[in-house]
A and B are shown apart, each in its own frame.
Chain A
């Protein structure tokens, strides 16, 4: 497997979507290719950072107002 091939399969590898034989070939390449290992590790780290710290939430000052408005509508729809 070349670096180009590895890059093409990178997301499928991360998502465990590669079949057994391709996974084995990818791991063989990763064991010897420093650059591809770095790209894999940093991509996984990037995803982890977004999952852990990249989640925006409704601003606090709007949240209660939105809750109250929607709750009123929810209870009114019941007629």
Chain B
């Protein structure tokens, strides 16, 4: 079922179309929200609210943007609103200022290290720990571009950033995560 067919089926409230929608997008939206909010139950709430808003808008949804882009954008905005409520004294704009790219320090060749030394669960644990230390403004960009595989343009639309800002943040996120992961992998060598 392509996107247009899915939208048509959703508009006539086809239960199978709902199942496809949920299976295709709920985890994606959840990953974005849980990355930003670092709270599972709040992230589940964001999934719920984003889907509910889509249901209400279904008849006006013109298909100018993809369902995924629309859902991500709504989920991103809800999450940012929640962060502002949670931390009203912290200016998010300050956090959103860009700083310099981290320089690679650890130059160990670890191409083969993870699978050789760690179990799948241990690797997952190291990845979780590494991304948890990534500043928020980079985490969302890395999640959308590299984990979810979205284009720079889609990521810019969702986060309301320029294409160049998305590229800069992705670059810094990658260097930052490479370094964090290298640090933790060194402990296993």
Contact = CB atoms under 8 A, between A and B. Distances in A.
A51 B13 contact: no
Contacts of A10: 171, 174-175
Given A41-B111, A66-B44, A75 B13 contact: yes
A35 B154 CA distance: 33
B15 interface: yes
Nearest to B21: A74
A56 B178 contact: no
Nearest to B124: A53
A78 B123 CA distance: 45
- Chain A's interface size range is 35 or more
Interface string B87-110: 000000000000001011001111
A10 B26 CA distance: 32
Interface of A is mostly: helix
A57 B13 contact: no
A10 B109 CA distance: 17
Contact of A38 (B109, B146, B149): B109
Contact of B47 (A11, A39, A49, A58): A58
Interface of B: 13, 15, 18-19, 22, 26-27, 30-31, 34, 40-41, 44, 47-48, 51-52, 55-56, 58, 101, 103-104, 107-111, 114, 120, 123-124, 127-128, 131, 142, 146-147, 149, 167, 170-171, 174-175, 177-178, 181-182
Interface of A: 7-8, 10-12, 14, 35, 38-39, 41-43, 45-47, 49-51, 53-59, 62-63, 66-67, 69-71, 73-75, 77-78
18 contacts: A39-B107, A41-B109, A42-B182, A45-B114, A49-B127, A50-B146, A50-B147, A51-B146, A55-B27, A56-B30, A56-B128, A57-B27, A59-B40, A66-B26, A70-B18, A70-B22, A73-B55, A74-B13
